[in-house]
Chain A
Amino acid sequence: MIGASERRLLVVEVGLVALAALLDPRLAMILLIWFAGWTVNTGIARSGTRAAATAVPVIFGITVLILWEAVVRLFDVPGVILPAPTAIASAFAANAPTLWTDFVQTVVKGALSGYLMGCIAAFAVALLADRFDFLRRGLLPVGNFMAALPIVGTAPILVMWFGFDWQSKAAVVVVMVFFPVLVNTVAGLADSQAMQRDLMRTFGASYWQGLVKLRLPSAMPFIFNGLKIATTLALVGAIVAEFFGSPVQGVGFRISVSVGQLALDMVWAEIVVAALAGSAFYGIIAFVERRVTFWHPSNRG
């Protein structure tokens, strides 16, 4: 069944394609791809099934990729401005070992180790702040303030202190993830209701029992929120810190060097690596969150 409004839209689309064909057949081709993808998606989206929720964004992504490829090929866009997706894919395949060493250098050594250290440190300070209310009232505003500042700017200082290798990147990551995790953990630990805390007191629970059995579990959604924000920040910190000096490997190093050589297919391949690493990192934390906070309303039903 096609409604009247869809029919009108179809007429407009056909008209646009025809008009474009008169001006430039290539333009008509591009428009055709776009409308085709959009029409397919409109059809699937109407079904409203669970499969549609994954199919629609995937089809949209594929449409954009085909469009990108078509634009580059039809209009002969030079590779130093925008390489085609196929060129990026072949650069990715051809340089897989290099990309892997870059991944290990930036993501595993720099981002991951810094992430662990920063989160543990933030968590420890948050526990201290939870124990001493005076500290909490002082740290929370300061932490909130710091979390909004451009902390990436500390990169040149930390590179100067810790050298060019991954240690300095890890240090930047520590500083970057510290405040979001701290603020979220402190806010989470304060989140339990007075009634619940009173209940713990009637049970004669000690401070530590109250912390472990009540306040830590109820803080988990907040803590994971901070941990998830920190995943992206960790990668940003590790990559940007490499712009200030690094050994001859690493995602940020390769991006800045390849940009200088105008090897944009390599730059895009590194961006793919960074994107995959970022989504995987986030996905892992989100997965753990679902396992840990299975009781939370947002994870039920």
Chain B
Amino acid sequence: MTDNTAPISGQGAGVGRSARAALRVRALGQTALPVLTVVVALLGLWYLACIPMNAAQSVLTASRAGIEVMPESPRDRRGMSGAALALANPGPAVAGAFAQDRPRLPAPHQVAIELWNSTATVSPTSNRSLVYHAWVTMSATLTGFVIGTSLGILLAVGIVHSRVMDMSVMPWAIVSQTVPIIAIAPMIIVVLYSVGVEGILPKAVISAYLSFFPVVVGMVKGLRAPDAMQLDQLRTYAASRAQTFFKLRLPSSTPYLFASLKIGIAASLVGAIVGELPTGAVAGLGARLLAGSYYGQTVQIWSALFGAAILAALAVGVIGVIERVALRRMGLR
């Protein structure tokens, strides 16, 4: 078949092409196109929202520049909503919506430019670089995450092997999931500071305890995943407790481990960011958010927010890749 315009999804689709390419193209229509549409729609809504959100400022600028605006006096304009102002002055409102210095809602491209400027054009060690702030937050996140998950796995192992531990600790671990434990973050920072612990450690402690409980709950579920038949079989092999653990329980808990690691790293990142708020930390994404909100630097807030989002997506993505490789090697997927 030489006709390249043949529909890909019709009967006999993909004939004469590589089957894998055809699958790819079809999968593209299955997920990529809808996702792309949703993302584009969201961006469109965002641009649209910029017009009323920034209308007050753009109309004010226009009237200062001598352009005629609808309610003449600023006092009348103050009482009006952004949407009404934008409808009354469509021209100036649209013209001034996307390029303000301190907009109420920065346009997507402004955030993108700020992200680019603060990552690619400044040295990563300068404190104007978002890479530097992201690294400060990420180092605390990772330290806490490693501590929290290690302790969580240890406790889960204890819970699975000791009935008393299970009955005593497990209900509290579950309750802790319903409690906003992040509320103790400011206290941890201040108390650790007053006993002389500074730097990334206090933030790491918060990250650790936020990732600890999801990992405990997930790992207990995972280590209990083998069913009675499998456990009985190992008993017929006269396997010791340690052998049962390493050859059956641990491998079958892997999918649960990765699921809880993903929740844990996201929680850790939130913990590190919130941990930067109360002390007025000078570095880190949380500090950027706080400084931005003090000085009304909205573009800076949005770029820090997107920096945090990219960081979270990267961290979860890395765990996802490790998960896929590990599960495939174990023959679980």
Known: A150-B273, A159-B293. A267 touches B187 (CB 8 A): yes
Known: A41-B168, A157-B305. A148 touches B312 (CB 8 A): yes
Classify chain A: how many residues form its interface, as a range: 35 or more
Chain A residue at smallest Cβ distance from B137: A150
Known: A134-B37, A135-B34, A152-B274. A145 touches B180 (CB 8 A): no
CB of B179 within 8 A of CB of A52, answer no
CB of B164 within 8 A of CB of A41, answer yes
CB of A279 within 8 A of CB of B175, answer yes
Docked CA distance A56–B170 (Å): 10
Contact partner of A42 (CB less than 8 A), chosen from B30, B31, B164, is B164
Among A17-25, A269-277, A293-301, the stretch that binds chain B is: A269-277
Q: Closest CB of chain A to B44's CB: distance in Å? A: 14
**SS class, residues of chain B in contact with chain A:** helix
CB of B182 within 8 A of CB of A239, answer yes
CB of B308 within 8 A of CB of A150, answer yes
CB of B30 within 8 A of CB of A137, answer yes
Q: Closest CB of chain B to A102's CB: distance in Å? A: 12
Q: Closest CB of chain B to A44's CB: distance in Å? A: 8
**Chain B contacts to A: CB under 8 angstroms:** 30-31, 33-39, 42, 104, 163-164, 167-172, 175, 177-180, 182-184, 186-187, 189-191, 194-195, 262, 266, 269-270, 273-274, 277-278, 285, 289-290, 292-293, 296, 298, 301-302, 304-305, 308-309, 312-313, 316
9 chain-A/chain-B pairs, Cβ below 8 angstroms: A45-B164, A45-B167, A139-B38, A160-B293, A232-B178, A236-B180, A243-B278, A256-B186, A278-B178
Docked CA distance A38–B158 (Å): 14
Instruction: Report chain A residues within 8 Å CB of B169.
Output: 57, 60
CB of A56 within 8 A of CB of B289, answer no
**Chain A contacts to B: CB under 8 angstroms:** 38, 41-42, 45-46, 52-53, 56-57, 59-61, 80-82, 134-139, 141-142, 145, 148-150, 152-157, 159-161, 228, 231-232, 235-236, 239-240, 243-245, 251-252, 255-256, 259-260, 262, 264, 267-268, 270-271, 274-275, 278-279, 281-283
Q: Closest CB of chain B to A182's CB: distance in Å? A: 12
Docked CA distance A42–B167 (Å): 10
Instruction: Report chain B residues within 8 Å CB of A270.
Output: 183
Q: Closest CB of chain A to B190's CB: distance in Å? A: 5
Query: When A and B form their complex, what is the total count of cross-chain residue pairs whose Cβ atoms lie within 8 Å?
Result: 163
CB of A152 within 8 A of CB of B270, answer yes
CB of A160 within 8 A of CB of B274, answer no
Instruction: Report chain B residues within 8 Å CB of A240.
Output: 182, 274, 277
Chain A residue at smallest Cβ distance from B277: A243
Known: A134-B34, A138-B37. A56 touches B167 (CB 8 A): yes
With most chain A CB atoms within 10 A of its CB, the pick from B168, B194, B262, B289 is B168
Instruction: Report chain A residues within 8 Å CB of B36.
Output: 138
